[in-house]
Chains A and B, each alone.
Chain A
Amino acid sequence: MLYQQIARNKRKTILVMFGFFLLVALIGAAIGYLFARSAVSGIIIAGIIAVIYMVVMIGQSTDVVMNMNNAREIHSASEAPELWHVVEDMAMVARVPMPRVFIIDDPSPNAFATGNDPQHAAVAATTGLLQIMNREELEGVMGHEMSHVRNYDIRLQTIALALSAAISVLVNFAGNFWWFGGRSSDSDDDDAGGVLAIFGSILLIILAPLAATIAQMALSRNREYLADAGSVELTRNPHGLISALEKLKDAQPMRAADPNSSALYISDPERNAKHRRFAHLFDTHPPLDDRIKRLEEM
């Protein structure tokens, strides 16, 4: 079960990256053709940019994600003894190296894990989580995060996050381009403006759902159930996680959570937030009640 999950995650990671390259190549070809009448040079340039972006992103992903979520790193047990020790315990039982530990200053209880692989992983917890959870519950939550680490969920999520962020930047860029192009086509002699307008709107139409699809692929909701089960396997104590999830039910939305990272968290940081209109349809997490029910049945 665990090995299947790891294999599936690795497969999906490659698929997501391949999809990203294909997309970038397409954009490069279109831009190259429009500006230099040469699709090939466009593909080459776009490919080089994409590779550099990927390398930078993969090297820096933990810091980038932690920055986006206003997390600060702690370097020794004395800064947050209970959290540090619990993470140490869970890493030991999961047989993964001790991850980096971060704290987010937010009264809403939540936690997430990120990184490229178990050797370069990081976990973060909010100050709210540390305040309301006792040790058993904290173990349940950190066991859940450590399962994400062990299952390679973190790599898939981090890469999907980086790529969907890049695509949304592109979509914004194309949107501005279209606006600019649409206006400049008012002047009579400009033909390229019209082409750009069409190109821009096509980009918008194609890219937006593609970005969503890529994000969706990473977000099989099943992985939350699997991580819950993994947590119990590590702690041998379903009660801790159950009562932790019970407490998370009453949580207020987070102040500083980055919307692109919400899928990383143990419970949806935007839950109950007023601006969420598409409840359930785009939920990144299964309902807490379902998760509790499954744990109680174990």
Chain B
Amino acid sequence: MTLIIVIVVIAIIVGIYIALYNSLVQLRVHAQESWSQIDVQLQRRNDLIPNLVSTVKGYSKYEASTLEKVTQLRTELAGVPDDDRAKKMEASNELSGTLKSLFAVSENYPDLKASTEYQQLMEELSNTENKIAYSRQLYNSTVAVLNAKIQSFPSNIIAKIHHFTAMEYLQVPAEAQNVPNVSFDD
């Protein structure tokens, strides 16, 4: 009888252990997924920018300085090492801001606004900007849950044994804190 009770108790403990471990692993995988989604979109945006620059150049001769800044920030972002997430996001946020102002001044060029190529680029860029914002939101909310689990009992024991460490949040640009939505088209 005692033997059965001991076996049942051990089985329950092992079961809880496995469940907690798996949930930690899953959260970490989710966070990695969100980050790689951000990375993909950053890359995509960088690929779109040369196109954007050449399109805008054709229509507006006077925005050379803004275009130069966009190109420069793009190169800067491409140069950030892959594992430096904070720095990458910082560069990305700055680029987002500059792109926004570029779109704002584009309002002054009706021909540019009317061109199909520009409209397509706008949609593509809105899409990447939104995906970056949403992936970041997903990343941060996953990290929040993961960090809470790493600190709270009993999952903290398992986190310690298997070397789960708390992850850093990604900085959200001040103006986007309430509304992650970026919309260039209205």
Contact = CB atoms under 8 A, between A and B. Distances in A.
Given A135-B181, A237-B181, A93 B134 contact: yes
Nearest to A78: B120
Contacts of B178: 236-237
Size range of the chain A interface in the assembly:
10 to 19
Interface string A58-97: 0000000000000000000000011001001100110100
Interface in B98-147: 120, 123-124, 126-127, 130-131, 134-135, 137-138
Contact of B183 (A88, A92, A136): A136
A92 B185 contact: no
Contacts of B1: none
Nearest to B33: A95
A89 B185 contact: no
Interface of A is mostly: helix
A139 interface: yes
Interface residues of B, number: 20
B183 A135 contact: yes
Contact of B185 (A93, A95, A134, A235): A134
Contact of B137 (A95, A236, A239): A236
10 contacts: A81-B120, A81-B123, A82-B123, A85-B127, A88-B127, A92-B131, A135-B183, A135-B185, A236-B137, A237-B181
Interface of A: 81-82, 85, 88-89, 92-93, 95, 134-136, 139, 235-237, 239-240
Given A88-B127, A89-B127, A237-B178, 16 more contacts: A81-B120, A85-B130, A92-B37, A93-B134, A93-B137, A134-B185, A135-B126, A135-B185, A136-B179, A136-B181, A136-B183, A236-B137, A236-B180, A237-B180, A239-B179, A240-B181
Interface of B: 30, 37, 120, 123-124, 126-127, 130-131, 134-135, 137-138, 178-181, 183, 185-186
